[in-house]
Structure 1
Amino acid sequence: MPIPSNCKSTNAITGRTFLCVPDEQTAPGSHRTLPLKFRTKDMALFDRVDYSAQPYSEQALAEARPGRASTPGTGPELNLTPAAAPSDELQPYRSFTVKTVNQADYRLTASTVSGAAGDTVPVTVTVHNAGPAWVASLSAGEPAATVDIDIPIGTSVASAPDNCWSQSETRYHCNTPTCLTESGKPAAHTFPFTLHIHEAIPNATARAALSNDAYEPPVRTFDPDLTNNTAALTVNPSTS
């Protein structure tokens, strides 16, 4: 569906913004509607639509313009049409959620590293979203995923990411940003740690696990495979 020629669109990682300027004049007390239609894309899951309307002025238009490049539409103009007085109280701003039947396959991966006693080694735990749906907590503002990371025996945390918190000496709780998407493409978020090895214990392994119930809606309601939502963080893997 082409964008109307009296609208401009702006793309962002979480979606698109349209700024439209119909040129019809309306009398005070009259009512008009805009014949808007939305079509969900392949990456839709539980998306949000916000819209607002205000009287035209050069100042209002300048304030509404995004601070990044926009693309003019080429389709037929979007025009107001007469409407009956609504039964509900009029609001200049509305927001609603579009829930789509779709899936997003989360996966968790973690490092395998080697080192001697006294060494400090970098390790990572990464949350992957293999799609096809994107995940963005636009309404609640919650993390797209939360991860509990256990620390391998014989090591301690030398440094941790800002979005991770110590629950004990051997466990960290980490939050991704509110979005885990790249315009519907597979996306990932990595938590980088450094571990200090106090004792070189062969095959020292700890578990990292996604919380499949923390998100709203819970991860288990849209992730078709929960078996890959855990990973092993291993220091000095056994060679046998």
Structure 2
Amino acid sequence: MRSVRVARGRLLRGVTALLVGTAAVGVAAGPAAAEDDPGWVSGWLDDVTVGGPDAPGRTMPLTLTSTGASQPRVTIDLTGLAGVATAAFPDFCVTQGTSVTCPMPPTAVDEFGTLTGTVPVVFRPAPGALDGASGTLDYTPLGEQTEAYTQQATVTVRSGPNLLDLVDETVTGAQVGDTLPVPVAVVNAGDQPAVDLRLTMRFPVGLVPASYRNCRYGTNQVLATVVVCTVRGTFAPGQRHELRDGFATTVGPATLGSKRITQAVQPLASAGPLPSGVKLRSRDADQALRLRAVGAPLDVLPAEATRAEGQTYLRGVHGAFDIVAKGAAVTGAVGDTVRVTVGLRNKGPGVPDGSLSGEGVGAFLFVPPAGVTVLAAPSDCWLNGDEEEPETVPATWYCNGPGSVFPAGTTHKVGFDLRIDTLSGAPGKVEPFQRYPRVDDNPNNDVAPVTVS
């Protein structure tokens, strides 16, 4: 080994240069590291059913989403569709044999740094394709240096009528007392006419649909009105049919918050079972529900014609309502066990309705009075909060509500068994767990005391 002697001044200058260089590299590393992130690209295409040779083409949306990726695009392999179906793409895509490449569509929307665009793909049955033939379309969303994941959609040829719903509406500003013309529109995507159809609609609690003599009406477990109509007529392939002036629907006093009116269509000959748990009855009515042909039959169905189900969404109806906390006052001696019954009452007229989100409503919180011990609680109540909270924080019980709806004029109460340890404690209270869908019209009665004396 050879020893090398370095002067102290040169050594210090070298160390200084090394530190400066390292700092410079560190400063540059931030943007470089950010540039090394390739971002991501994802895509989705539903499975497709096309009719036989006389059916209209079907436009299906291939959705492309990207964040931070360079040149986001999707490549499509059509090899698996040979003899089953054809697929046509917009002009901004490039086709080479059975391979297609589509960049992020020029109409893509940028929301908080995420691009989302839709590539419309028109599917038709291949010449000579038989009923039941099935093929696959492989598609791979990718960007520069992103990982590519190939996904697959199945395309099936099915002869016969195929009714699709065309309604996807959002209504804002609706108020109690309004009558809305809820649209009903269908199209036959099949290659054969549909003779007669069944229309099934669901109007959430508070909404009052018009009466038609060819419809039957019932109420389900969440107080929604279910309507099943038998509509006579012949619905030709590609032909759009609509209900003139819409399905008149009154926004009744019980309407509160956002609502989704759903509808579904089926050829009557192949319609499935009627809605379960609903007793359907006819109503006296002067009119029948009829769907009328609109325009000429379509050669290609629009992208919104993808499902047999549709919806009309009512956003934020500001209905009136008042939730009242129901406390309790009981008496007893030290050592006694007493029962307190507490809960909420909905004075109405609005009905809190969580069926849209699938949540329960009418839940409440119960704080027992100081100086008592809870000996027994209902099965749908449990301690709420952190078990490690200090003893100075009173225990709070959470109790479930009556279900997805809290009907006007009803009370939901439960009982707790309390042992009296002392009679000098502060009162407890009961109050709603949340103000759903908003603070009610009289918040002064939202909290009620619970006392033991």
TM-score tier, shorter chain, comes to 0.7 to 0.9
1:179 correspondence with 2:399: no
Match of 2:254 among 38, 43, 50: 43
Please say if residues 365 and 430 of structure 2, whose CA atoms lie closer than 8 Å, have aligned partners that are also in contact: yes
Aligned-CA RMSD value: 2.3
Partner residue of 2:304? 89
Match of 1:190 among 413, 436, 439: 413
Partner residue of 2:267? 55
Please say if residues 136 and 180 of structure 1, whose CA atoms lie closer than 8 Å, have aligned partners that are also in contact: yes
CA 1:97–1:29: 2 relative to 1, 3 Å: closer
SS of 2:249's partner is: coil
Q: Which 4+ residue blocks in structure 1 deviate beyond 3 angstroms?
A: 65-68, 84-88
Please say if residues 9 and 16 of structure 1, whose CA atoms lie closer than 8 Å, have aligned partners that are also in contact: yes
Structure with max Cα Rg:
2
Separation (CA, whole Å) in 2 of partners of 1:8 and 1:174: 37
CA 1:96–1:193: 2 relative to 1, 3 Å: farther
Question: Which residue identity is paired with 2:313?
Answer: T
Separation (CA, whole Å) in 2 of partners of 1:97 and 1:189: 29
Alignment of 1:114-193 (within 5 A): 114-167=331-384, 170-176=395-401, 177-181=403-407, 185-193=408-416
1:73 correspondence with 2:299: no
Separation (CA, whole Å) in 2 of partners of 1:149 and 1:142: 20
Question: Which residue identity is paired with 2:262?
Answer: D
Gap regions ≥5 residues in structure 1: none
Identity of aligned residues (%): 24
Separation (CA, whole Å) in 1 of partners of 2:303 and 2:324: 45
Please say if residues 382 and 398 of structure 2, whose CA atoms lie closer than 8 Å, have aligned partners that are also in contact: yes
**Displacement, 1:4?**
1.0
Normalised by the length of structure 2, the TM-score is 0.46
Which protein has greater RCO, CA pairs closer than 8 Å, 6+ apart? 1
Q: Between Structure 1 and Structure 2, how many residues are aligned?
A: 225
Q: Deviations over 1:48-93 (max 9, x none)?
A: 3111111112x625x0254443221332110111135574422211
**Displacement, 1:128?**
1.0
Q: Deviations over 1:9-53 (max 9, x none)?
A: 012451211100101111122221233221111221133311111
Separation (CA, whole Å) in 2 of partners of 1:67 and 1:132: 26
Separation (CA, whole Å) in 1 of partners of 2:266 and 2:417: 52
Please say if residues 343 and 364 of structure 2, whose CA atoms lie closer than 8 Å, have aligned partners that are also in contact: no
1:201 correspondence with 2:423: yes
Normalised by the length of structure 1, the TM-score is 0.83
SS of 1:8's partner is: strand
1:7 correspondence with 2:222: no
